[in-house]
Structure 1
Amino acid sequence: MDLKEKIVAFMRTEAYKPLTVEELAGEMDLQGEEMSGFWEALRELEEAALIIRTRYGKYGVPERMNLVVGRLSLSSKGFGFVVPDAPDVSEPGKDVFIPPGGLLTAMHNDRVVARLNHGQPQDGKRREGEIIRILERANNRIVGTFEANQSYGFLIPDDGRVARDIFIARKDFGEAKNGNKVVVEIIKWPEKKRSAEGKVVEVLGNKGDSGIEILSIIKSHNLPTEFPPEVEEAARKVPAAISAEEIDGRRDLRQLPIVTIDGEDAKDLDDGVHIERLPNGRYLLGVHIADVSYYVRENTPLDREARERGTSVYLADRVLPMLPQRLSNGICSLNAGEDRLAMTAQMEIDARGQVVSYDIFPSVIRVKRRLSYTLVRRILVDEEPALCEEYQELLPALNDMRELCHILRNRRLRRGAIDFDFPEIKVKLDENGRPLDILKRVRTLSESIIEEFMLVANETVAEHLYLRHIPSLYRIHEEPEEEKMVKLNRLLHNFGQSLRKPDKITPMALQKVLNRIAGRPEERIISTVMLRSLKQARYDAVQASHFGLAAEFYTHFTSPIRRYPDLIVHRILRESFLAGGRITGKRKEKLNAVLPEIAAHSSERERAAAEAERETVDLKKVEYMEQFVGDEFTGIISSVTAFGIFVELDNGIEGLVHVSSMDDDYYQYLEERYALLGERTRKVYQIGDVVKVKLTKVNTEGRTIDFALAELSHQKKLERKRPDKDKESRGRTRKNEKPKGYARNKKRKKAMPAMKRKAKDR
């Protein structure tokens, strides 16, 4: 235990009150070298907010001072949540709600210290607090629209979570013109009554230009579009083929019938598989992953760039790779017929899906055939005769893969893993980036085969590293918050379902609900709400279970071309293999020091990539729907709020029916029932209901879609045909009859003009 760990441990367990520096040093009885390094250790701990200095110059740990340290996640509605850096002893992993008035001047993703408010409700209710200190600013560059006059200008941020405009002095306009999309660098952070100040550092183009919105999304998430010259140079030096010397010390598996199974358009193929039936009836599964760590050595330009990027980003119209294409699509890609260096996990698996024995080692492989998900589905599911004949030599192995896939999946479900089955939304674009179609890609047997094989390999590697006390990165998924499970239970009651113990939830309990609603109309809605009620998985240097998978050990091992944590796991595995299965004490210390920061940064970059991917798909959805304004669609109510209902169409596109457009009545929000109720008509619009809507508006800049209920639109048309201007049609209906209740409604219209206006403004 180093000095910093000793200080923190002492203050957490033995210090009975906040202490001055002198009191702390005296209480710990520090001597010699420890005393000489005390001041520096204390400074570093304070900078990291592992300890807090009060206004009176005394030190304590946050959890004993009613404080929480973490990242602020802001909502576009003005409130936010502090996501703790580490689980709180008293409130494990629980986020802290920050109301608009308690934000200080913090911005989205800033690292902050929040004080918890006393007297908060218990029984699973969310904690509430206020920000008292900003430790680290995250948004030093912001993307938005530039608006200016002769004296000064403002940046209107694209991200609605940046609540205030950025002031820009005339001297800091650069080349920006009114209406440009620009990148602004913050030069002065906001104060209580003053906006942040910035200067224009990059002009992206004119608002509305082709491709400018995608570029704005890329810049707003700080995603790099090009590799630095030194990284490109390092990539050029990587050989295009494997030499005989590089094979030495590796197990030669080039004779095995290894195949890759990927999407048709995939270019970075990092996983190959092969399977055998053993004489004892068990399966021998080999998962062979490209050994990227051999080419990307620690602290080289390639490694530093990959670490900074954290992940490849798959946007609607392009890929921003973690590694240069010479590696990702070249020497590291498991292209059929070419020798490749790999890291292999070979597992013997019994009929119940248990890994009986395994071996993990560096290898050299040669993929025999490249297969696609579509091809495998057509062979195994559709059983197309021509394809079965063409791939006859692979049929026994493919059938074994199908059987083992079912075995592994059943094992996961038996232990309680949650098995969501959401279709993937893909946008088909033309050569100019305009959306041609929105497609749903549903998971089939072929995708499930690879998914199950990768899952069991990841679990095996994680357990291997943990049991040998080798420092590593793990993929963890914490238990959901009780408050969210209580809310989920309220929703389930509306559909005749329930969680028996929402305060002590297990993944199996959630999966049982999914099993009961499978195939029902409400399946999609409940699955979506359930997923939103769970925490996000993340990386950590400390092993913990994965709630969603019901797995005690889990890591990411299978995608080192596109995820930096996988590359780190490979590097550690190869080191330990070369060292006889161990890591030296000095190397352990170094890994223990750097892995927590790598885990945190990789998690943050993963979230940024996921947001950017979602935003670009949302943008293309909106662009696609522009052509259908005025058309009617059938959809399902996916969410209900006080301001309206969200309706999802069959193609996965979602839009809002604002309550102001529902002007046939006053609608009350029933939070417990996830519904809107008409006061007079008693109409109920509830989550899961099927409705017909009319597309009224799309907003590409805000990436929003507005619907109106088709029934209400129809009623408005009937009202417009009533007698005011057209004397011949006055009072007529289809059969020359006045509509039912016409006279009564006419009187109401005259008597209650204020109510009518109020309903429209709502």
Structure 2
Amino acid sequence: MKNNGHPSGLLDEFEGTVQGHRDGHGFVQRDDGEADIYLPPNEMRAVLHKDRVKARIVRQDRRGRPEGRVVEIVDRPEQPIIGRLLHEGGVWLVAPEDKRYGQDVLIPKGATGPAKVGQVVVVQLTEPPALFGQPVGRVKEVLGEIDDPGMEIEIAVRKYGVPHEFSEAGMAEAKAIPDKVRPSDKKGRVDLTDVPLVTIDGEDARDFDDAVYCEPAKVGRGKGWRLLVAIADVSAYVQTGSPIDIDAYDRATSVYFPRRVIPMLPEKLSNGLCSLNPEVERLCMVCDMLVAADGEMYAYQFYPAVMFSHARFTYTEVAAILGNTRGPEAAKRKERVKDLLNLSDVYKALLKQRSRRGAVDFETTETQIVCDDAGRIEKIVPRTRNEAHKIIEEAMLAANVCSADFINESKHPGLYRVHEGPTPEKKEVLRGYLKAMGVGLSITDDPKPGEFQAIAEATKDRPDSQQIHTMLLRSMSQAIYTPINSGHFGLAYEAYTHFTSPIRRYPDLLVHRVIKAILGKTKYTLPMLPTPGEAHAKLAKRLASRVKAPTQKPQKAVVAPTKEVQAWQAAGLHCSANERRADEASRDVEAWLKCKYMREHLGEEYGGVVSSATTFGIFVTLDAMYVEGLVHITELGGEYFKFDEMRQELRGERTGIRYAIGTRVRVQVSRVDLDGRKIDFRLVREGEDLTARAMKDKGVSSGGAPTKASAKRGARGKSADSAPVAAERMEAGPQSAMQAFKSAVKKAANKMKGRKPRR
């Protein structure tokens, strides 16, 4: 990289991806992993969100951020823009639904197609933006009215580029697949049709990846269990490089929305021939395990089989049977009760082994959106994990670990599910936080997952346990798919992969193919291996900008990855990035639905808990609705609030009032921005003046004079700021932004009086 003689290397050029901001400015996400570069609004006029650009740093802005200038547009991806068609002052234009695009798109008079004013449309650009000109486009597709049921999903799949239509070739191939297992399909497979395998899933499940069976068995010289996990054999029907396979790889995962699923595979496979439906024969891959009494994996084997599901259970039903083996649910399924008890026994053994291993196991609240027939939210309810959920979870973990060990021992390349420990920066933040909160435990320089679990256990009964556990979770890294096995930190496994969901995850399908190749003493090769060079490097950089690659331990000699390893790396990056894409699209739809739901509750008051504190305010999650919104710092009262990064809290300098994760508050719904997916709250004063209570606790009277208590503390040399806030609910009355601004300015001016200028 050239410096051009400029001090500090400000003129060094770099490549990256533009990320727009709804306020008009933007950033360049650098391919080299360095910090994002700020782009002022004038620089954003000639570029679009998601553009690939070459840029350079030209100055530091007043906040000390490096400010960039776009030198060249390297690539402008074919990206449709979704928005509402407007007609203003005789001009047709589309206001993008994704505000990160920053500019409306002009539509020539004859390019509106059949679209009507106010409808949601998809626009294809015909002229790019310029410094003195808006982008121009034409209406490519009309999605409908903004209030049409499911419109939020139609918008999200296009906004995030989620493939939602199968290719004609893929559909033709699916149509030609038989409707049931044929006698010829069973050749070379173990017949398990007499083994009472069952599926256990949620009430609303439509595709069934896995079936389970357990029986007592002699393991070594002691007692134990034989656990069978049978997984749908998708690889028997989806051949490498086939049209269905190409479509599946493009999607990489199924995407789940409220009331709708965009599957990875055509429905004939996902809900039909590959789904382990009850009382029909299905092809499967089996992980057959012997588990010792202490939960250790004694032995395992893989083989292709044909199975017959003897029952389709729901989690609720299984939990009820295990809770009362003489109850009405058990009476209906009496021939399967013993098998379920065996599953419960092996689960408890695996759970003990999990505890000894030191795996992280935090209890978190997941929610489910329940919609009516029109697609509107009826209610948001917490998902409860009962014993049946945990039984299936442990069984799937066991099968995944065995598949990773099988691939690893065979020295065959494949995709591992890697989850690394916290970065050095996150470790320092967590250490400082634990010390500031007086936890008494910390993490080492090379922490093990057991250290995190020990902290969670030691603090579970504290009033601020939710806050502490949230910080522990936030210090973790994201899991990714990669051929380089670095272990799974959270689960405390030396090797881990995904084997159990090939209907909805492409990495699982690849793992099945690898296992079959090993069993057949052959080698599975990814199609169309990329040629090492600039093209592959660009792909890796682009994907790595969205998904951070695992940290590799330094080696004595750096060996360039082979062509084969590069192919697996590219596949892992692709699957990881598209997994994030699916998550983002799902969250976007949920946020849209929640905003639309909360528009009907403007002005209403609710109790809630602070879920996050930032420099600009606090995020609050409502108790009854599980909806999160922002209380801006200007709504916290007429004083100066300082963000304490160590404690992750906002604290008022005058009153000492504190807002941290877990603080209970009462709020009013003040504003809903549907386009921005944002909900704003304001704090509500409830009964006693809580600000006065906080000031009293700090030792300051309402007039600002120190109380006797504070004077005594001062005499002992103890800072009043360190006093804890006793109030469970810490609330302050609402003030307008202008009032807060004036107060802050006045306070700053008073502080500056009498100060000598710095030399």
Q: Shorter-chain TM-score: which interval?
A: 0.7 to 0.9
Asked if the contact 1:242/1:340 (under 8 Å) is kept, the reply is yes
The residue that corresponds to 1:483 in the other structure is 425
The residue that corresponds to 1:340 in the other structure is 282
The residue that corresponds to 2:684 in the other structure is 710
The residue that corresponds to 1:290 in the other structure is 232
The residue that corresponds to 1:389 in the other structure is 331
The residue that corresponds to 1:425 in the other structure is 367
Deviations 1:18-68 (A, max 9, x none): xxxxxxxxxxxxxxxxxxxxxxxxxxxxxxxxxx9x799xxxxxxxx9998
> What is the aligned-residue RMSD (CA, Å)?
3.9
Asked if the contact 1:81/1:95 (under 8 Å) is kept, the reply is no
The residue that corresponds to 1:524 in the other structure is 466
Tell me if 1:231 matches 2:170: yes
The residue that corresponds to 1:240 in the other structure is 179
Alpha-carbon distance change, 400 to 635 in structure 1, aligned in 2, over 3 angstroms: same
The residue that corresponds to 2:193 in the other structure is 254
Determine the C-alpha separation between the residues in 2 that align with 1:710 and 1:575. 64
- CA drift of 1:512 comes to 2.1
- CA drift of 1:159 comes to 2.9
The residue that corresponds to 1:600 in the other structure is 573
The residue that corresponds to 2:492 in the other structure is 550
Tell me if 1:580 matches 2:521: yes
The TM-score, its normalising length taken from structure 2, stands at: 0.77
Which ranges of structure 1 fall in alignment gaps of 5 or more residues? 1-51, 57-64, 86-93, 120-125, 717-739, 742-751
Alpha-carbon distance change, 317 to 461 in structure 1, aligned in 2, over 3 angstroms: same
After TM superposition, the structure 1 = structure 2 runs for residues 308-319 of structure 1, keeping only pairs within 5 Å, are 308-319=250-261
After TM superposition, the structure 1 = structure 2 runs for residues 54-93 of structure 1, keeping only pairs within 5 Å, are 82=29
Which secondary structure state, in structure 2, belongs to the residue aligned with residue 554 of structure 1?
A: coil
Stretch of structure 1 that moved more, 430-439 or 225-234: 225-234
- CA drift of 1:573 comes to 2.1
- CA drift of 1:594 comes to 3.9
Tell me if 1:699 matches 2:677: no
Determine the C-alpha separation between the residues in 2 that align with 1:67 and 1:513. 45
Which secondary structure state, in structure 1, belongs to the residue aligned with residue 218 of structure 2?
A: coil
The residue that corresponds to 1:638 in the other structure is 611
Asked if the contact 1:145/1:180 (under 8 Å) is kept, the reply is yes
Determine the C-alpha separation between the residues in 2 that align with 1:418 and 1:83. 33
> Counterpart of 1:758 in structure 2: which amino acid?
K
Alpha-carbon distance change, 507 to 108 in structure 1, aligned in 2, over 3 angstroms: farther
The residue that corresponds to 1:267 in the other structure is 206
The residue that corresponds to 1:48 in the other structure is none
The residue that corresponds to 1:91 in the other structure is none
The residue that corresponds to 1:685 in the other structure is 659
Determine the C-alpha separation between the residues in 2 that align with 1:642 and 1:755. 19
Which secondary structure state, in structure 1, belongs to the residue aligned with residue 515 of structure 2?
A: helix
Asked if the contact 1:313/1:609 (under 8 Å) is kept, the reply is yes
Asked if the contact 2:526/2:568 (under 8 Å) is kept, the reply is no
Asked if the contact 1:353/1:411 (under 8 Å) is kept, the reply is yes
Asked if the contact 2:273/2:282 (under 8 Å) is kept, the reply is yes
Tell me if 1:652 matches 2:652: no
> Counterpart of 2:344 in structure 1: which amino acid?
R
Tell me if 1:758 matches 2:725: no
- 1:619 aligns with one of 592, 595, 598: 592
- CA drift of 1:341 comes to 0.3
Determine the C-alpha separation between the residues in 1 that align with 2:413 and 2:216. 34
Deviations 1:473-505 (A, max 9, x none): 222223332223333334434532266347544
Alpha-carbon distance change, 183 to 531 in structure 1, aligned in 2, over 3 angstroms: farther
Stretch of structure 1 that moved more, 654-663 or 171-180: 171-180
Alpha-carbon distance change, 109 to 513 in structure 1, aligned in 2, over 3 angstroms: farther
The residue that corresponds to 1:211 in the other structure is 150
The sequence identity of aligned pairs, in percent, is 36
Determine the C-alpha separation between the residues in 1 that align with 2:115 and 2:90. 14
> Counterpart of 1:261 in structure 2: which amino acid?
I
Asked if the contact 2:612/2:619 (under 8 Å) is kept, the reply is yes
- CA drift of 1:84 comes to 5.9
> Counterpart of 1:672 in structure 2: which amino acid?
M
Which secondary structure state, in structure 2, belongs to the residue aligned with residue 672 of structure 1?
A: coil
> Counterpart of 1:230 in structure 2: which amino acid?
A
Alpha-carbon distance change, 497 to 353 in structure 1, aligned in 2, over 3 angstroms: same
Determine the C-alpha separation between the residues in 2 that align with 1:68 and 1:479. 29
Deviations 1:559-578 (A, max 9, x none): 1111111112212222332x
Determine the C-alpha separation between the residues in 2 that align with 1:753 and 1:107. 32
Asked if the contact 1:661/1:760 (under 8 Å) is kept, the reply is no
Alpha-carbon distance change, 377 to 715 in structure 1, aligned in 2, over 3 angstroms: same
Determine the C-alpha separation between the residues in 2 that align with 1:761 and 1:184. 46
Tell me if 1:560 matches 2:499: no
- CA drift of 1:600 comes to 2.0
After TM superposition, the structure 1 = structure 2 runs for residues 496-515 of structure 1, keeping only pairs within 5 Å, are 496-497=438-439, 500-501=442-443, 503-515=445-457
Alpha-carbon distance change, 584 to 262 in structure 1, aligned in 2, over 3 angstroms: closer
Deviations 1:288-323 (A, max 9, x none): 100011111122221111111111111012111111
The residue that corresponds to 2:559 in the other structure is none
Which ranges of structure 2 fall in alignment gaps of 5 or more residues? 5-10, 530-561, 691-701, 704-735, 747-759
Which secondary structure state, in structure 2, belongs to the residue aligned with residue 96 of structure 1?
A: coil
The residue that corresponds to 2:123 in the other structure is 184
> Counterpart of 2:489 in structure 1: which amino acid?
F
The residue that corresponds to 1:405 in the other structure is 347
Stretch of structure 1 that moved more, 593-602 or 126-135: 126-135
Asked if the contact 1:313/1:320 (under 8 Å) is kept, the reply is yes
Which secondary structure state, in structure 1, belongs to the residue aligned with residue 351 of structure 2?
A: helix
Determine the C-alpha separation between the residues in 2 that align with 1:69 and 1:455. 40
Asked if the contact 1:626/1:698 (under 8 Å) is kept, the reply is yes
Tell me if 1:360 matches 2:302: yes
Which secondary structure state, in structure 2, belongs to the residue aligned with residue 657 of structure 1?
A: strand
> Counterpart of 1:624 in structure 2: which amino acid?
Y
The residue that corresponds to 1:330 in the other structure is 272
> Counterpart of 1:264 in structure 2: which amino acid?
E
> Counterpart of 2:208 in structure 1: which amino acid?
L
Alpha-carbon distance change, 325 to 586 in structure 1, aligned in 2, over 3 angstroms: closer
- CA drift of 1:452 comes to 1.1
Alpha-carbon distance change, 758 to 169 in structure 1, aligned in 2, over 3 angstroms: farther
Asked if the contact 1:486/1:502 (under 8 Å) is kept, the reply is no
Alpha-carbon distance change, 518 to 545 in structure 1, aligned in 2, over 3 angstroms: same
- 1:140 aligns with one of 79, 83, 87: 79
Determine the C-alpha separation between the residues in 2 that align with 1:619 and 1:753. 26
- 1:461 aligns with one of 400, 403, 406: 403
- 1:628 aligns with one of 568, 583, 601: 601
> Counterpart of 1:366 in structure 2: which amino acid?
F
Tell me if 1:445 matches 2:400: no
Stretch of structure 1 that moved more, 355-364 or 495-504: 495-504
Asked if the contact 1:72/1:112 (under 8 Å) is kept, the reply is yes
Determine the C-alpha separation between the residues in 2 that align with 1:358 and 1:134. 54
- CA drift of 1:269 comes to 0.3
Determine the C-alpha separation between the residues in 2 that align with 1:714 and 1:627. 29
Tell me if 1:673 matches 2:673: no
- CA drift of 1:623 comes to 2.9
Asked if the contact 2:325/2:337 (under 8 Å) is kept, the reply is no
The TM-score, its normalising length taken from structure 1, stands at: 0.76
Asked if the contact 1:287/1:346 (under 8 Å) is kept, the reply is yes
- CA drift of 1:261 comes to 0.6
Tell me if 1:278 matches 2:217: yes
